Amino acid sequence: MKKSNLAVTAAITGLLAMGTLTAAPAVAAEKEKCYGVSKAGKNDCATKTSSCAGTAKEDGQKDAFVVVPKGLCEKLVGGSTESA
């Protein structure tokens, strides 16, 4: 590969990587934690009583959450954006 092609490839790769890093917070801002709606063993992260995802012991556990699109949680039966 010629040096000029290598430089162009490196520059494009760098720009793509920067675009990926700056887009992530925007995507995360469009999501929210929704407590009380996960099925047993299907929660996304830790609860008050355990430190791992997938450890909810019962359906609708009030301290277990799943990540959903922003605004959806209020529409789900039993959903809350705050842990109980």
Judge whether 23 lies within some domain.
no
Average pLDDT for residues 36-54, to the nearest whole number?
A: 88
* In-domain check, residue 63: yes
Mean pLDDT, to the nearest integer, of 15-26? 55
User: Using 50, 70 and 90 to split pLDDT, how confident is the model at 67?
Assistant: very high
Domain count, the chain: 1
Whether 75 is in a domain gets the answer yes
For the segment 27-52, the average pLDDT, to the nearest whole number, is 86
What is the reported pLDDT for 50? 80
Classify residue 16: in a domain, yes or no.
Answer: no
**Which CA distances in Å does 7 have to 2, 3, 17?**
9, 6, 15
Residue 55 within any structural domain of the chain:
yes
Assigned domain for 21 exists: no
Q: Is the pLDDT of residue 4 over 80?
A: no
- Give me the domain span that covers residue 63: 31-83
Q: DSSP state, 80?
A: B
Percent of the chain that is helix, strand, coil (3-state, to 5) = 35, 15, 50
Instruction: Please give the average per-residue pLDDT across 29-57, as a whole number.
Output: 89
62 lies in some domain: yes
What pTM was estimated for this model as a whole? 0.62
